[in-house]
Amino acid sequence: MTISQAVANVCKVPNINDNRQLTANSGERQEIYLPGTDCVIKSQVSLAGYTSYRVGGPAQWCVAPRNLEALQASIQYAQTQELSVTVLGAGSNLLISDCGIPGLVIVTRHLRHNNFDLETGQVTVAAGEPLPGLVWAAAAHGWQGLEWAVGIPGTVGGAVVMNAGAHSSCIADILSSVEVLLPDGSLETLTREQLGYSYRTSILQGSKKIVTKATFQLQPGAAPEHVLAVTKQHKQHRLNTQPYHLPSCGSVFRNPKPHAAGWLIEQSGLKGYQIGKAQVAQRHANFIVNCGGASAWDIFNVIRHVQQEVQERWAIVLEPEVKMIGEFQAAC
């Protein structure tokens, strides 16, 4: 059994330079239909609904491809129009400015496929697959190795790029290989050793390579009920210790070993500190939550205040784990 990269009509790469490109105008908003495809690029799309923080301004242009060919066509369009490209998965580790993002935003969350190979114990997954969904699917098969990731609310692609981790485990422990799309539209397969993995980072961060799918080495053969039980324990631990009832990006800061960022923030007396509707969570100090109606500017300023307070008290500079995109200012 193999994975098909297409789940909708194939979106063929068009000749962008011809005159058949169609643009539909609606006030200031536009929809660009790439010729010969069913791909639609839209202008001035609010990104708040694409992030777990529920904040963020508009994308200058936005597209949500559903297969590899559509992704390639979108990249080609951006190159032809000399647009910068920003890739969004689940938007769970992002803080997008209220001013929005220039260029083309590519939302990869609709790239979803998985294949469990019983002979090798490997699972190959498209970049847009939600990581928790993959964890539950593996558990239902009786495959071990992903239970720790059940509480990470991101996509497979994002998890691979940032080397997501929890409970002393991380993506680098189980990744076998990753397929990436290069700016010229070609595909390249990279091994784990080529990704330069370290704590919450890889060489893919900041690069122009886009993850299309990843292959993980798991351990099949366990009783599904056992793996499901362990997975549920990890999920419950997350629910008990972290504020999942409010919008957030997860952990805001990297842990400055040997310290835990949450402990440093709590010992600095910052639990509950609030600007506007953004607050340092009472349940876990390394979370900054949107209490309802927060702006990205509110959250940004809470992050900056926490950094200043911790540095003054502990002489430690907290490095954000959350990726901040755009220009942060009081008014856009």
Which of 92, 200, 268, 295 is catalytic? The answer is 200
Which of 69, 129, 179, 321 is catalytic? The answer is 321
Amino acid found at 293: G
Which of 248, 251, 268, 295 is catalytic? The answer is 251
> Is 238 an active-site residue?
no
Distance CA 207, CA 193 (A): 17
Distance CA 329, CA 45 (A): 20
Using the 8-state DSSP alphabet, how is residue 130 labeled? B
Q: Give residue 59's region: left, alpha or beta (phi > 0; psi -120 to 50).
A: beta
Question: CB of 32 within 8 A of CB of 22?
Answer: yes
Is residue 76 helix, strand or coil?
helix
> Is 193 an active-site residue?
no
Residues 6 or more apart whose CB falls under 8 angstroms from that of 184 comprise none
> Is 52 an active-site residue?
no
* Inter-CA distances, 328 with 63, 92, 99, 109, 276, Å: 24, 19, 7, 26, 15
Amino acid found at 76: Q
Which amino acids are annotated catalytic?
200, 251, 321
